[in-house]
Structure 1
Amino acid sequence: MKVQVLNLDGSAAGDVELSDAVFGLEPRADILHRVVTWQLENRRGVARKARERSDVARTGKKFGRQKGGGTARHGDRAAPIFIGGGKAHGPRVREFNISLNKKVRALGLKMALSAKAQNGLVVLSGLDTDGKTKTLAATLAKAGFGKKVLVIDGDAVNDNFAKAARNLIGINVLPAVGANVYDILKHDTLVLTRAAVEKLEARFNG
């Protein structure tokens, strides 16, 4: 698949041939759903367990008379209403680290890239900029990439571009190694540099 390469200001800078094995697949909603669910589940934090009534070591001896004491007829100090008693309906440890086959994860990323290649992919020659947020904002507005843009560079993100994009709402930047299905699908436009294309294709062909 041949795609036009642009400069950061939107001017043409040649063409690049994208691998059909990475950017030319037919996206499947079930695969993408499985990978996104796996990503989000693994992001969830695990709550610290609280000791409930059955976990507290307190006496179960009846500590008052059945009648005439003027209070309720309690028989367990571990009840939640007492100081030192167990927590009522406290947080419990839950594990969210579901597993997913590596082949399915790789297939999901290829399908996410392919979905953007059909609609929403831009390939840039590079991310050279002067590091000024105002300049970059004007450049991106002129290029018309949209409101939510994910920019993926090669081994490391261009420092000046990362600094300039830091305060821009809707612009997120990742190195090629951080490319993932959830972030790609969440953004309206996926912007890849030539270096990112080479890294992503090498990642699957290697």
Structure 2
Amino acid sequence: MKAKIVNLDNQVVGERVLDTNIFNLEPRVDIIKLVVDWQRAKKMAGTHSTKTVSEVSGTTRKPFKQKGTGNARQGSLRSVHMRGGGVIHGPVVRSHATKLPKKVRKLGLKHALSSKLAEGKLIILESLILENSKTASLVALLKNFQGKSFFVIDGNLVNNNFAFAVRNIPNISVVPQIGANVYDIISHDCILVSQAAVDALEERLK
């Protein structure tokens, strides 16, 4: 399949043939969701924790004598039903990461790219090279694409001027092709991909 190539002024400068096995699949929401859930689970810190009875500091002495008080007998102030005591079955430090086969992850990326291209939200740029690193200049160029948020994918390295220019712009992320992922592609409105990135993605996903 053929796709237009534009410059940063959104003017058509040519066209190129795209791999239909990567950019022209019938989008599968179930596969995309599998990969998004895998990414989000892996990103969770899992550092939440509470103290059990053995970890709470306090005396091991009985709070009061066992008989003669009229109260139910108690063995420790650190018990789970006492104020300031431990927590039973509370959260512990753990990893939330799950396993997902590489083939499914790769397939999810293909379907995400195909989905954005089908919506007309994936735009192939001639190049991401800027003459200067002025943020104002890049903001003016991005207005040509009328997107609410941008996910920009470059080749193996991101142009330094482009990387510096986007630092103070909200709702835009720039990554080299190795950083292309399903969650960011789906969560951003417009995907800008350089020709170098297309070449690298086709090599990586074939």
Pairing of 1:21-170 with structure 2 (within 5 A): 21-47=21-47, 49-53=49-53, 59=60, 63-64=64-65, 66-67=67-68, 74-79=74-79, 81=82, 85-87=85-87, 90-119=90-119, 120-129=121-130, 130-141=132-143, 143-170=144-171
Q: Cα distance, 1:56 vs. partner? A: 5.6
> Which amino acid letter does the alignment assign opposite residue 188 of structure 2?
H
Matched position secondary structure for 2:3: strand
Q: Cα distance, 1:76 vs. partner? A: 1.4
1:128–1:158 contact (8 Å) kept in structure 2: yes
Partner of 1:202: 203
Q: Cα distance, 1:64 vs. partner? A: 2.5
1:151–1:192 contact (8 Å) kept in structure 2: yes
Distance 1:77 1:147 in 2: 56
Deviations 1:134-174 (A, max 9, x none): 11111111x12411111100001111011111111122111
Distance 1:194 1:62 in 2: 73
2:66–2:74 contact (8 Å) kept in structure 1: no
Distance 1:68 1:108 in 2: 66
Percent of aligned positions that are identical:
43
> Which amino acid letter does the alignment assign opposite residue 99 of structure 2?
S
> Which amino acid letter does the alignment assign opposite residue 175 of structure 1?
P
Distance 1:61 1:75 in 2: 5
Partner of 2:10: 10
Matched position secondary structure for 1:53: coil
TM-score by length of 1: 0.87
Q: Cα distance, 1:73 vs. partner? A: 5.1
TM-score by length of 2: 0.87
**Alignment CA distance shift 1:204-1:144 (3 Å):** closer
Distance 1:106 1:29 in 2: 14
Question: Number of residue pairs matched?
Answer: 202
Partner of 1:173: 174
Q: Cα distance, 1:74 vs. partner? A: 3.3
Deviations 1:22-77 (A, max 9, x none): 101111111111111111011111125433125569637574353359x9853213
Matched position secondary structure for 1:93: coil
Deviations 1:162-193 (A, max 9, x none): 11111111221111000000000011111100
Distance 1:82 1:39 in 2: 39
Distance 1:86 1:196 in 2: 53
Gaps of 5+ in 1: none
Q: Cα distance, 1:110 vs. partner? A: 0.4
Distance 1:6 1:68 in 2: 85
